[in-house]
Chains A and B, each alone.
Chain A
Amino acid sequence: MSAFSRRRFLRSAGALAALGTVPGFLGRALAAAEGASGKTLVLLFLRGGADGLSIVPPVGDLAYRAARPTLALAPPGKDGGAIRLDDVFALHPALSPLLPLWSEGTLGIVHAAGLPGATRSHFDAQDFCESGTPGRKSTADGWLNRAVQRATGPDGAFRVVAVQPTLPRMLVGDAPAVAMSSLGQFRLPGGAAAGTAFDALYAQAVDTALRTTGMETFEALREAGSARLARLSPANGAEYGNAPIARRLQDVARLIRSGVGLQVAVTDMGGWDTHVGEGSEKGQLASRLAELGGALAALARDLGARWADTRVVVMTEFGRTARENGNRGTDHGTASVMLVLGGGVRGGRVVGGYRGLARSELFEERDLAIGTDVRSVLWEAVRGQLAVRDASTVFPGFSPGSPVLG
């Protein structure tokens, strides 16, 4: 609530100073002078429960091949084999576009990440991952919104953006956030003329909330239009391709590169619920990973120098069973992998407390056990990118332990 009032105050102060005609870049320069970091946090949610044991297969774990007779990836060096990362872990070959990031140390992997009090329901597990309060259903807002409320940052409509049709649960709350299917769709029918008229109508609104939100909205629309944000071409020869996740991350890159003050971006990707015919080096999961890997690599390249100020966290609601099922797939499990990319990541390593797939080590004798609380990784990203100090305001009841990848 207090952050929201602060925003209102800043907004009206700015409006008084310049009668609503202050150009966006000036406002942002002011915000920057106030100590905004210029850093961006990008959160990518893989919905459906992505199989960490195929994404970063533990090829050095003797129990791995036994648990997955048809799904196990071939060892590094074999035809279609996984890509060696260390003595235990390898990367799914479809993620080979990420290898340069791994080598330069801007990709770190947390294996065996999960939320305590596991549930194997997609609905509940996603809910807890997004509310940030596992076991507690009635939390009305999302952890990332709470984080934004406590952060200082640029004060504009593009500060918090979800590139997906509706605002995800993790962004619901008092801090304003925009959801858009794509930048190309963030516009009014009727173009600039309609924008001008509505701008004037909202500038005269009696309702304060509507007036301030209106001012932000029309400034953002002008910016998006005048900078032709939606048509900004990739830089540095980055090639996104046509996968939906690639188009979404390209929009994220556009918002970062154009300097509109993007502090938090969220998007998601479906198709990870691989109960049947999951595939190995080729197949259902491999196709998804190729899209994901290509999109992330393009984002890193496109951002160029700004990659250092960006952190991308890739997460999912739960992992999948250690053993494959009778349909050459896997069922809902517990721990999975998280990918953390970008500047400030001490990457090039797999961390997280992986305990192995030996029956005695499995959770409830079926799932990879949790080695790292998902919130530790998220909190590290929030602290690093949003400069929030107190973890309990973002994740009530949670105290972060030692650094994971920071």
Chain B
Amino acid sequence: MAETERVERPSLALAPDPGVARRSRDQSPAPSSLLGLSRDSGAIFRSTHSVSAMTLVLLVGCATASSGGGAPPPAEARPRVGDPLRLPTVAWSAEEQAVHVLNRLAYGPSPADLRALESMGAPAWIAWQLRPADIDDAAVEKRLADFPSLSMSSAELVARYPRAKKVAEARGISMEGKSPEAVRAELLRVVEPYQLPRQVGAELVAARLIRATESQRQLQEQLVDFWFNHFNVSADKGAVRWMVSPYEREAIRPHLFGSFRALLGAVAHHPAMLFYLDNWTSTREGFSLPKRGRLGLNENYARELLELHTLGVDGGYTQEDVREVARCFTGWGIRKPNEEGTFEFHPQAHDRGSKRVLGVEIPAGGGIEDGERVLDLLASHPSTARFIARKLAQKFVMDVPPPSLVDRVAQVFLRTGGDLTATYRALLESPEFWSDAARAAKVKTPLEFTVSAVRVLGGTTAGDVPLVQALTRMGQPLYRAQPPTGWPEAAQPWVNPGALVARIDFGLKLASGRLTGTEVPLPAAAGAPEEVVDRTAEAILHRPLGDGTRATVLAALGASEVMPDGERRPVDGAKLVGLLLGAPEFQNQ
């Protein structure tokens, strides 16, 4: 626990950024056709690319009329929409840029996204991805309609997917003297597996995998990953299993491109977080309930709110602050967690005394607004800006981002009052994002690895059990990260022998069509082995193989062998693809 000195209280009054306002006024009229725009911006981008000394300043308007995403929001509400993305000088080819952008902002290049990005140009594509509401994603949404649990409230989920024990009681099955396995076997004779609670998790995992693989809103999906992980809850903890699907839908997804304060508030109010970090049990000291006896303060949420959600461990708070924050959140509870699972404030459990948080007095007599006041303080705190900027830079740029980048992005976060889209923009316009040091500098997480393998081949997945099991073997059972820190962002924990065997095994199985529910077309394997290897490597790795690697792959394919009829042995396409997916080059992004 950091017991460092408090940092100075931040100024809450934030001056509007004059630059932002000016750019909004200068914005050129939106073209009426997205396709027309794409061609234009792509042409600009390509033609200026050769003048590498020039800083590119591109005006990219994003049309909405023809993209099928509904009416655009009013300009005042989202002042930065359509602003030009100002990229630094980049000495990479259009393909190299596209591959880098898709590796970081998407789940790797798919053939279709690669074509779209190359024709639009990186600045236009990124601007497009920053406005997911304007991206037509009907095909994926139609597929997700197969998962009824995705749109249900916690109460509906509890009612539709009740605990096995409850089903047993309702059906008059006695559990006495039986092992859990025996009870389960008996239950499965009267109910279908898809009626049990695990189905809620299965559908959520499948939906995440389908979206990551096939959604047009790729940046949105990467940000779901990032922010869910930042505000992690685990489906393994009690009633969270019925809350986790609403949590992603209600607390995380709506706020990815809005203000950090709104996201933080949605999380703080959500029963999934209140349950996972025990705040629903936290009351003023001395409070007691007839059925539950004496209760008291539980600091778990308060501590992680400061350490993991906002300020960071070195963010300048004390143990006393943790306690005071916990007092502010007493009474933030859940109405019937195992039945209804909705937020409820319990005034009688709230500590109405005065508190002092980060040097700021919160007067006595307050109610739910005490917690809101804390969230205001934290969301606008410079330590929070740095902490969020660093984590974003770690995700999108490199494991150990340069402090200068973190500072710049943090300044934008502060200046814009925690506007997340503006913050992402600052990161994506940074020379660091476009630097050679950032290219292929990150090891893919298991989720990124598996999904990028399916995408690079233009495949499709139903998010079925074999893919989910493969992720588990690689160390990333989705929605089940136990600690509130979530999954690690840096490479180290993902690179170990067991996980590596699991990755190689996955690549070979995927390529040979043995991963039920996930299908990939294999690239054509006709022609001389050298040509096939080069062509396939280019399609999967997007760069030529090193001489040694090329020779290894050819040897493994038996390319030098001559068949009895004098012909050379034809390339085993599945084996070739399996080798390339398991190769070290494909583990990086």
Contacts and interface: CB of A to CB of B under 8 A. Distances in A.
A204 B546 contact: yes
A109 to B, nearest CB: 25
B472 A327 contact: no
Contacts of A124: 237, 278
Nearest to B300: A137
20 contacts: A137-B484, A138-B313, A140-B485, A166-B477, A167-B475, A167-B496, A179-B475, A188-B505, A190-B508, A193-B556, A194-B508, A197-B552, A197-B556, A198-B579, A201-B582, A205-B585, A213-B495, A213-B497, A213-B500, A220-B497
Interface string B285-323: 000000000000000100110011000010000000000
A241 to B, nearest CB: 17
Contact of A123 (B178, B237, B477, B485): B237
B238 A174 contact: no
Contacts of A123: 234, 236-238, 482
Interface stretch (B14-22, B209-217, B486-494): B486-494
A76 interface: no
A246 to B, nearest CB: 16
Nearest to A273: B180
Contact of B579 (A179, A197, A221, A276): A197
B553 A197 contact: yes
B86 interface: no
A178 B587 contact: no
Interface string A107-131: 0000000000000010110010001
A268 to B, nearest CB: 14
Nearest to A179: B498
A25 to B, nearest CB: 18
A365 B509 CA distance: 56
A-B CB proximity, top 8 nearest? A205-B584, A197-B556, A277-B177, A178-B498, A217-B497, A123-B237, A157-B497, A277-B176
B552 A327 contact: no
A131 B482 CA distance: 10
Nearest to B177: A277
Given A206-B584, A211-B584, A277-B177, A138 B234 contact: no
Interface stretch (A54-62, A279-287, A296-304, A316-324): A279-287
Given A172-B493, A178-B498, A213-B500, A284 B300 contact: no
Given A174-B492, A196-B556, A273-B180, 7 more contacts: A138-B483, A169-B482, A174-B493, A179-B499, A197-B555, A214-B584, A328-B177
A271 B483 CA distance: 23
Interface string A180-208: 10000011111001101110111011110
Interface string A156-173: 010000100111010011
Interface residues of A, number: 61
B433 to A, nearest CB: 20
Given A165-B472, A166-B477, A188-B505, A209 B491 contact: yes
Interface in B507-559: 508-509, 546, 548-549, 552-553, 555-556
Contact of A277 (B175, B472, B549, B588): B175
Given A139-B483, A201-B583, A204-B549, A166 B238 contact: no
Contacts of A174: 492-493
A283 B491 CA distance: 47
A357 to B, nearest CB: 21
Interface string A236-269: 0000000000000000000000000000000000
Contacts of B484: 137-138
B454 interface: no
Contacts of A202: 584
Nearest to B183: A276
Contacts of A287: 179
A279 B587 CA distance: 51
Contacts of A216: 497
Contacts of B472: 165-166
B501 interface: yes
Interface of A: 4, 121, 123-124, 127, 131, 136-140, 157, 162, 165-167, 169, 172-174, 176-180, 186-190, 193-194, 196-198, 200-202, 204-207, 209-211, 213-214, 216-217, 220-221, 271, 273, 276-277, 279, 283-284, 287, 327-328
B482 A127 contact: yes
Contacts of B504: 188, 194, 198
B509 A169 contact: no
B488 A271 contact: no
B500 A214 contact: yes
B273 interface: no
Contacts of B496: 167, 176-178, 213
Contacts of B238: 121, 123
Given A169-B482, A201-B549, A205-B584, A279 B473 contact: no
B277 interface: yes
A284 B180 CA distance: 9
A194 B507 CA distance: 12
A209 B488 contact: no
B483 A204 contact: no
B587 A210 contact: yes
Given A138-B303, A139-B483, A271 B179 contact: yes
Contacts of B307: 138
Contacts of A194: 504, 508, 556
B475 A166 contact: yes
Interface in B174-194: 175-181
B443 interface: yes
A209 B177 contact: no
Given A211-B584, A276-B175, A167 B500 contact: no
A144 to B, nearest CB: 14
A282 to B, nearest CB: 9
Given A137-B484, A201-B549, A165 B473 contact: yes
A217 B500 CA distance: 7
Nearest to B477: A166
A131 B483 contact: yes
A157 B497 CA distance: 6
Contact of B584 (A207, A277, A328): A207
A63 B84 CA distance: 77
Nearest to B547: A204
A180 B278 CA distance: 33
B495 A209 contact: yes
Contacts of B237: 121, 123-124
A204 B552 contact: yes
A140 B236 CA distance: 17
B180 A271 contact: yes
Nearest to B180: A271
Contact of A207 (B181, B500, B549, B588): B588
Contacts of B477: 166
A391 to B, nearest CB: 18
Contacts of B588: 207, 210
A222 to B, nearest CB: 12
Contacts of B555: 197
Contacts of A121: 237-238
A209 B491 CA distance: 9
